[in-house]
Amino acid sequence: VGAAQPFSFVLCAAAFKAAVLIQRWYRRYVARMEMRRRCTWRIFQSIEYAGEQDHAKLQNFFSYLMDHFTPSSSKEQDFINRMFREEENLESEIYCDYDSVEVSDTYAGPHLSFPLLPDHATALLETFKKNQQLHAHYVLKLLHETRKHLSQLPNICHISTCYSEEITVCGDLHGKLDDLFLIFYKNGLPSPEKTYVFNGDFVDRGKHSIEILIILFAFLLIYPKEVYLNRGNHEDYMVNLRYGLTREVMQKYKVHGKKILKMLQNVFSWLPLATVIDQKVLIVHGGVSDVTDLELLAKIDRHKFVSVIGRKKKSIPLDANKSSVGLRTSRSSSFCRPEAHCASSVSDRLELSKRVQQNVQEELERYRREAGLTRPKGTDALCRGSACVLHKPRPSPGCSLNIVRGGGCYFGPDVTEKILQKHGLQLLIRSHECKQEGYEFCHNRKVLTIFSASNYYATGSNRGAYVKLGPDLVPHFVQYQASPTAHNLTMRQRISRVEESAFQALREKLFAHKSDLIAAFKRYDKDQAGLITFSDWVTAVESVLHLGLPWLMLRPQLVRSVVNGRLEYQAWLADLAMEHRSQEHIQSSLLETIYRNRSNLETIFTIIDSDHSGLISFEEFHQTWKLFSSHMNIELTEGGICDLARSIDFNKDGNIDFNEFLEAFRLVRQA
């Protein structure tokens, strides 16, 4: 026995050592996985916010053109009005048009009659689960009835937990129909006992935006006291041009898509801006600022904010004495001149954000005067009023412009406390930002971000969530993952897949700025050997992309062309080019330019394509290039523009599609 006792102690000691080693290894493994996950998240968010900056810059470019363009004829002025103006009187044009859209006998989908009944909503859900469509006649009629209902609602809706056991609040859905189905499966359909608040950003990015709108609008009409919809920054026709809703509607409703889009534009403008539960919980899409005033927000004429980004333009006077189209200044935009893109800086973005905020403030001041309100002290402060769909919380105190996302402001915990105390509130619920767990508290748990679109960036990138509030107003969360694939992956597999998608997107971003990167690298390559240090690589890449990423940590995944501890940057960029050269005959510089500007070019093409047919006429092309060539200081004669239009019309159908439009961009860029 005495001999066996020391032996047992030896075994125990070995077992403890093994357990400690395993535990240490596992902790390091989890730490590495967490670091990879955080880096991946930073990549996705930085690229997303950079895209939003590009959209704001494009809108700023159009605003600049409109401020400085002088039409030389009534035809040019009509073209500009049609291309850039928001329609002043949509009501008279679109609301009685659904009767002209006939439902054919071959249509096998649901038939809606108004007022809607719960069975209609159930039929819609079953139809969309089968990937079928609702007929355009019923879509238009539904939008017409929705607009009538929304126009009767206040800017801020007030609801109470006295009439239902729980109120469910959902965040961004972004066209992800599977997430909405899963929410209804887990939580139940809207009903007199089940109240829902959907906090904006129903559309864009996902593939089923129009289906989500149809479902939400149907339940809104069936249960007007139990379903509430707030407006988000994506309920905006200018944003829809870039992020997918416009394209989706035109693909699914080719004949009547334009009518549907016009009605959606007006319906969006009537969506309420906020919801308040029991006078204690404020629900708004973005957040608040240091001068947020709910009394003012309740009185503004919200439907005049057709686009939160753009401003409504005054009519451009036609100067009959000027026979040439011109700009009153030679300033150019970084979009139209890609070679100047590397000159963008923080100061440029700050100036852009100030201009966007000023546009919103001009409208707000007019509505303030119409409401008979006096200007409160501090109205020159940043981030006012109706930009509530764009604001974002931050840990540090104060309020400042959000130059990262191109609009709105950052607000600190002191701002939250001030606004909550001012209006007797205890909690602010917002959305607007993807969160890895679907929700996140900040500001001493007084601000809650809820995001309901799972797999937002890639499969497995994040969970979706919704929050339920009872009479005690204590939040209860339900998280979910709508993708069956993500459930079957281990943590390592999930992170690896998401990481792969993130680095692919980052490589595309690097490739799109190849010329700028070469110029930046050469500034550090003093001896012109084609080699730079990794610290110089980090500095140069950040100076061009402005993504704020930990480049040194990301380097092993991005860089393999190493010579004696230094980067052979020409070989590295050549590898990037080979990854993205889909057609051998396309020159690398052109492909780079198209990668960089494709989203902007698609948005421009969609704006020019006023009937959303996917084609622009020679006349529209002619007027557009006269406008752009003036701004870009490109000398193109009338005959030159006509020759250009004919040369890129490859199929000779008298119209220009998007691929042909890209060809025009290439030819002018080469010239």
- Residues marked active site are found at 234
In this structure, are strands 439-442 and 409-411 parallel, antiparallel, or unpaired? unpaired
Report the SS3 class of residue 594. helix
Task: Name all contacts of 538-547 with Cβ < 8 Å and 24+ positions apart.
Answer: 541/510, 541/517, 543/342, 544/342, 544/513, 544/516, 544/517, 544/520, 545/50, 545/509, 545/510, 545/513, 546/50, 546/344, 546/346, 546/349, 547/43, 547/46, 547/47, 547/50, 547/509
Cα atoms in the Cβ-side hemisphere of radius 13 Å centred on 207: 3
Amino acid at the residue 656 = I
* Residue 231: closest CA among 190, 167, 284: 284
User: What percent of the residues of the chain are helix, what percent strand, and what percent coil, each to the nearest 5?
Assistant: 50, 10, 35
- CA–CA dist 292, 128 (Å, integer): 40
With tokens 């007084």, the residue in question is 446
Q: Give whole-number Cα distances, 527 to 514, 563, 574, 661, in Å.
A: 21, 15, 21, 42
Pairing status of strand 156-159 against strand 464-469: unpaired
For 164-207, the DSSP string reads SS-EEEE-B-TT-HHHHHHHHHHH---BTTBEEEE-S--SSSSS
Residues comprising the chain, all counted? 671
- Please spell the DSSP secondary structure of 293-306, one letter per residue: -HHHHHHS-GGG-S
What are the distances in angstroms from CA 77 to CA 190, 311, 604? 48, 18, 18
Q: In which element (H, E) is residue 572 found?
A: helix 569-580
Q: How far apart are CA 273 and CA 364, in angstroms?
A: 14
Peptide bond into 376 cis (omega under 30): no
- Cβ proximity of 306 and 239 under 8 Å: no
Collapsing DSSP to helix, strand or coil, 466 comes out as strand
> Which helix (H) or strand (E) segment is 575 a member of?
helix 569-580
Q: Which two tokens stand for residue 553?
A: 């940590």
Are the CB atoms for 140 and 97 separated by under 8 Å?
A: yes
